[in-house]
Structure formats: structure tokens, C-alpha cells
Amino acid sequence: MLQEKLNDYHVILASSSPRRQLFFNDLEINFEIRLKPINEVYPTNLKHSKISDYLAELKALPFKEELTEKDILITSDTIVWDNDQALGKPKDAHEAFQMIKSLSNKTHEVITSICLTTKTEQITVNDITKVTFKDLLDEEIEYYISNYKPFDKAGAYGIQEWIGQIGVTKIEGSYFNVMGLPVHLLYQVLNEITA
């Protein structure tokens, strides 16, 4: 099993996301959280999964020089792709409202990229999930924002929270991807790296 394979490695998760940390715990992976500040800016010519791939790799850059032979660094980035543009994390309640309103009554894509970096190689993979929202009422959106403060979430919502429970009518792909980590993909690539 993966846990035994990872006994010879030191896994570093470069994420402050409590959801991603929970997934690592659920997979029974021993890991260390190591954070470095990064300016999450990407070239404007990038589209779709190339954005999240770029940002996941960008987050690994500050660690490159300090990785040892047995380190596996894991960085990740999630975007919401809607109307041919990337929605990141909202700056305030007004922006959060505009984001959720734009997702109402249609289907968007959630893209999460995972970058696994060792001393000698780097592998970046991504997963795409289609999420459909019902026609959300303004008061439902306002209630969610004021009670759940989704300012740390791409697209201004967490599917596992109230808005997802009352608003999501269809999902195609990995549910966990929408929460911020395609766990099946992480498991697969870690197994490949440690084979």
C-alpha cells in the first residue's frame, strides 16, 4: 500500500488549506506542512488548466534548492473556469457575490492541478470537474457569503458547504477535486513515483 511505500520518503505539503491537509490525513500519509509566500500571478496568455498548472509549479519554485533526495514536495492550485475566464479567490463580499451570481443557473468547470517535485524531477497533473448550479436567489447568495465567508475559495464557494448542498444540481467528475484536491490522482501519481 501507498503508506508503506512512503515510509522511505519525506512528504512536504506546501498548502495552508485545511481541506487539503484533511485529505492527506485521510490517505494516512505522514507529511509536514511547509509554507512560503508566493505572488500568485500568471501570464495573461494562459488559459484553462495551463493557469492552474503554472500556479502549482510556481508554488514549488521557492523550495527547489532545499529539497533532499527523499523529499516529495506537493503543491496545488484550484481555479474555477467560467465564461472563458478563471475565477480565483474573491477579495471581498461584493466580488464573492458577483462570482457566485455568474455561476448561477449554469455549468462551470473546477480545475485543480497538483505538482509533485523531487530533487530530480517534477510531475504536474490536473483534473477537471463540471459543476451545475440551480438558479440561485440573491438572498441565498447573500446568506451564504455572510454566514460562511468563502473568501479563501476559488469561485467563492465550497461545494461541501451550505451553498453546495442547496445549489448544486449536477456534478460530472471528482467531487473531491471541487473541494480542492483530486485525491484519486494524487494517490495514483504518488504510487508511480514510489514504484
DSSP state letters, 53-80? HHHHHHHHGGGGGG--TTEEEEEEEEEE
Position 195 scores a pLDDT of 86
Q: How far is it, in rounded angstroms, from Cα 145 to Cα 156?
A: 8
Residue 183 CA from chain centroid, whole number: 10
Q: How many CB atoms lie within 10 A of CB 109?
A: 18
pLDDT at residue 163 is higher than 90:
yes
Q: How far is it, in rounded angstroms, from Cα 157 to Cα 148?
A: 9
Q: For residue 164, what is its C-alpha cell?
A: 453546495
Taking residues 83-95, report their average pLDDT: 95
Taking residues 60-65, report their average pLDDT: 95
- The question of whether 53 is a catalytic residue gets the answer no
Position 87 scores a pLDDT of 94
User: 195 or 103, which is more confident?
Assistant: 103
pLDDT at residue 69 is higher than 90:
yes
Position 1 scores a pLDDT of 86
Taking residues 27-31, report their average pLDDT: 93
Position 79 scores a pLDDT of 95
pTM for the model stands at 0.94
Q: How far is it, in rounded angstroms, from Cα 57 to Cα 188?
A: 19
- The active-site residue, picked from 8, 26, 77, 82, is 77
Taking residues 10-16, report their average pLDDT: 96
Position 3 scores a pLDDT of 85
Domain boundaries, the chain: 2-193
User: Options 1.10.10.60, 3.90.120.10, 3.40.50.300, 3.90.950.10; which CATH number does 2-193 get?
Assistant: 3.90.950.10
